[in-house]
Amino acid sequence: MPIVQITVLAGRTVKQKRKIAQRVTDVLVEEAGTRREGITIAFHEVSKESYASGGILMADKEQK
Protein backbone atom coordinates (compact mmCIF):
# COMPACT_ATOMS: atom_id res chain seq x y z
CA MET A 1 0.00 0.00 0.00
CA PRO A 2 2.09 2.92 -1.23
CA ILE A 3 1.58 6.33 0.31
CA VAL A 4 2.88 9.14 -1.89
CA GLN A 5 3.38 12.61 -0.45
CA ILE A 6 3.75 15.45 -2.93
CA THR A 7 4.85 18.87 -1.70
CA VAL A 8 4.06 21.77 -4.02
CA LEU A 9 3.83 25.51 -3.80
CA ALA A 10 0.27 26.62 -3.13
CA GLY A 11 -1.71 27.62 -6.16
CA ARG A 12 -2.18 24.41 -8.15
CA THR A 13 -5.71 23.93 -9.40
CA VAL A 14 -7.89 20.95 -8.53
CA LYS A 15 -7.67 19.93 -12.19
CA GLN A 16 -3.86 19.90 -12.03
CA LYS A 17 -3.79 17.89 -8.80
CA ARG A 18 -6.35 15.45 -10.18
CA LYS A 19 -4.19 14.83 -13.26
CA ILE A 20 -1.02 14.43 -11.20
CA ALA A 21 -2.76 11.94 -8.89
CA GLN A 22 -4.03 9.93 -11.85
CA ARG A 23 -0.63 9.79 -13.56
CA VAL A 24 1.31 8.91 -10.39
CA THR A 25 -1.23 6.19 -9.67
CA ASP A 26 -0.93 4.86 -13.23
CA VAL A 27 2.87 4.62 -12.91
CA LEU A 28 2.68 2.74 -9.62
CA VAL A 29 0.14 0.31 -11.05
CA GLU A 30 2.17 -0.25 -14.23
CA GLU A 31 5.70 -0.33 -12.81
CA ALA A 32 5.24 -1.65 -9.26
CA GLY A 33 2.26 -3.91 -9.79
CA THR A 34 0.36 -2.10 -7.06
CA ARG A 35 -3.41 -2.29 -6.87
CA ARG A 36 -4.97 1.06 -7.77
CA GLU A 37 -7.24 0.94 -4.70
CA GLY A 38 -4.24 0.60 -2.39
CA ILE A 39 -2.49 3.79 -3.47
CA THR A 40 -2.84 6.92 -1.34
CA ILE A 41 -1.60 10.32 -2.50
CA ALA A 42 -1.43 13.38 -0.25
CA PHE A 43 -0.73 16.86 -1.54
CA HIS A 44 1.00 19.20 0.89
CA GLU A 45 0.76 22.79 -0.23
CA VAL A 46 3.22 25.30 1.17
CA SER A 47 3.28 29.05 0.77
CA LYS A 48 6.13 30.82 -0.99
CA GLU A 49 7.12 32.20 2.41
CA SER A 50 7.50 28.65 3.75
CA TYR A 51 9.59 27.12 0.96
CA ALA A 52 13.21 27.79 0.12
CA SER A 53 15.47 26.60 -2.67
CA GLY A 54 19.20 27.23 -2.67
CA GLY A 55 18.87 29.03 0.65
CA ILE A 56 16.45 31.62 -0.74
CA LEU A 57 12.75 31.78 0.04
CA MET A 58 10.58 31.43 -3.03
CA ALA A 59 8.85 34.68 -2.02
CA ASP A 60 12.22 36.46 -2.23
CA LYS A 61 13.04 34.95 -5.64
CA GLU A 62 9.94 36.58 -7.10
CA GLN A 63 11.11 40.02 -6.00
CA LYS A 64 14.32 39.85 -8.02
Q: Which of 2, 16, 19, 23 is catalytic?
A: 2
The residue length of the chain stands at 64
Q: Per-residue pLDDT for 64 more than 80?
A: no
pLDDT in tens, 30-58: 999 999 999 999 999 999 999 999 999 99
Burial state string for 30-63 with b = 16 or more CB within 10 A and e = fewer than 16: eeeeeeeeebebeeeeeeeeebeeeeeeeeeeee
Is 28 in the active site?
Answer: no
pLDDT in the model for residue 62? 75
Q: Which uninterrupted H or E stretch holds 57?
A: strand 56-57
Domains of the chain: 3-63 (3.30.429.10)
Alpha-carbon dihedral 49, 51, 57, 61, rounded to 10 degrees: -90
